[in-house]
Structures are given as C-alpha cells and as structure tokens.
Amino acid sequence: MPINVGDVAALTLMISSERLGKLMALTGSAQTAIELHQETLQLGASLMNVTATIEIALRNSVCENLSQHFAVPKWLQQPPITFQWRKTETDNIAKALDSARRAEYSKLTQAGKAALETLAYPRGRPPATSHLKRAKDRRKHIVVSEGKVIAELTMYFWKRLYGPDYDQTLWRTSLKRTFPHKRLSRAEVATYLEQIYQSRNRLAHHEPVLHKRFADTMTAIDFVIQHLETAQPSSTTPLANLLAGDIADVNAKAAALHARLNSFRVGP
C-alpha cells in the first residue's frame, strides 16, 4: 500500500523507530520500511487464521479424546482419582474457570448480582469487604459449562498435554489416538506443536514470522494437518482441505514479501 510522504514522520513515531529499525537499516528508507512493516502484518494476519483453525481443531480433538478416556462428565475440572493434573495445568484450569465466570458475571443485571451476593454471604456481607472481594465471592457461585471453561484455555494448555509430563498418563493411554499414525512419537508431535505455539504467540503480539521461522512454522502446520486424527497421513485430510486456500494465500504473500526483502540485500 502506498504511503504518503507527508505521513512518514508521524507514522514512524506511531509505529516506533525501534520497531522499524531493522527495516530502515535494510532499505535506507522510512517510507519503504513502513510499507514492508504493513506487508509483514498482513502476512501475519493470514497466518494467524491458519494457526487459529489448527488450535481449534487440536483443542476439540483432545477434548473428545479425553472425554471418552476419562468417561466422567467434568473430566477437566474433576478427573478420575487415578489421574492428576500437574500444577501448571491445575492453575490454568482455575484461571479459565474464573475467566468464564467473569464473562457470565458481566452479563448479569444488578438483580442477578444481588442474588449472587445472597449466596455468597447468607449471613450478611462482612463490613469493610472491598468491591473486588465482593465480586470474586459472587463469581464463585456462577455455574458455567465445561465447554465455556475449555474455550478459555489457550494453546499453551493443549500443547503441554503432549509434553513429557504426560507421557505415561495421557499419551500412551489416550492421546496417541489423536495422532494415530503408528510411527509418530510423542516427542515429534510435541516439537511441531511447540513450533506452532511459538509462532502463534509472536503473531498475537504483532511480531514478524519470517525466513527460517516461517519455513519451520509451515512445516509444522503441514505436519498437523496431515496427521491429526488420521492413521494414514495425507495432504487431502478434511483439515488440509479446509485450509488449502488459506495456506496457498499465506505462501504467496510470504514469497512476495521475502522476495522484496531479499531485493534490498547485498550479496557477499
């Protein structure tokens, strides 16, 4: 997109010279650096669409798998006594539960909040109770579905289930079926999920995913869409078919951007 020359100084301040620094050093032009910055954001937005779909697919695959494995209604918050979450997951589930309750609390009328206060303080609210404490005590009495708690968990939670902490308790007993190809190891799956997770986080913070990081991310994406929920890896799985157009768009944008960036580089 063309940048008006008269806007360059103001835009440099808004985007920040630090953020534009490497691009300005590469191109020798603040205007061109801003243009490349915007192209990088556009690529990131397209790539984020792909990683978001993969995150949703992975989450739902894991949930369906563990729901059947644990065979209890609230397997996330109240798994069977034979299984225990690690502290990291326990803490994240608690945060997700509170976040889901917060979302429901924000929708309540004053009458609804007053009803919760009656449940929170059946003998009357203690004097000098802060507003934050009141809200927290009220929220504890909001019942939310397991699905709403699950929706609040991030990819960090789901990818950790493929880590070494759960090799014996989840991978070998159940999660292997989410990546059922017999030659796949847990460590291999975990490595690719970690790559997608790291890039997803960079994209969420508007950081570039380019060059080797981009190539590694696309390799990881290709792995997941070919192996998730299928014993025979294929480039035409339902997930691969769903994302084919988006991935083609991402690759085209990346090729154009990398070519433009490389045009400014001076060979040895």
Q: Give the integer Cα–Cα distance in Å for 24 and 22.
A: 5
For residue 26 the two structure tokens come to: 């590469």
The mean pLDDT value for 248-268 works out to 90
Contact 54, 159 (CB under 8 A): no
Q: Cβ–Cβ contacts within 10 Å for residue 147, how many?
A: 10
Residue 1 has a pLDDT of 64
Please report, for residues 8, 55, 168, 179, the alpha-carbon distance to residue 188 in angstroms, rounded to integers and kept in the order given: 46, 17, 16, 11
Position 266 confidence tier, pLDDT thresholds 50, 70, 90: low
**Averaged confidence pLDDT in the chain:** 95
Q: Which residues touch 47 (CB under 8 Å, ≥6 apart)?
A: 199, 203, 209, 214, 217, 250
For residue 129 the two structure tokens come to: 């109770």
Q: Which residues touch 100 (CB under 8 Å, ≥6 apart)?
A: 144, 148, 149, 151, 152
* Exposure on the CB side of residue 68, measured as CA atoms within 13 A: 10
Side chain identity, residue 186: R
Percent of the chain with pLDDT over 90: 92
**Matching residue, tokens 């997608």:** 196
220 by Cβ neighbours in 10 Å (0-12 / 13-18 / 19+) ranks as: buried
pTM of the predicted model as reported, rounded to 2 decimal places: 0.92
* The pLDDT of residue 268 is above 60: no
Render pLDDT for 133-171 as a digit per residue (tens, 0 to 9). 988 999 999 999 999 999 999 999 999 999 999 999 999
Q: Say which DSSP state 228 is in.
A: T
Residue 46 has a pLDDT of 98
Position 48 confidence tier, pLDDT thresholds 50, 70, 90: very high
Q: Which residues touch 103 (CB under 8 Å, ≥6 apart)?
A: 148
Residue 267 has a pLDDT of 54
* The pLDDT of residue 91 is above 90: yes
Q: Cβ–Cβ contacts within 10 Å for residue 222, how many?
A: 16
For residue 227 the two structure tokens come to: 């192996």
Question: Which stretch of DSSP H or E encloses residue 215?
Answer: helix 211-227
Render pLDDT for 188-209 as a digit per residue (tens, 0 to 9). 999 999 999 999 999 999 999 9
The mean pLDDT value for 224-244 works out to 97
Contact 96, 152 (CB under 8 A): yes
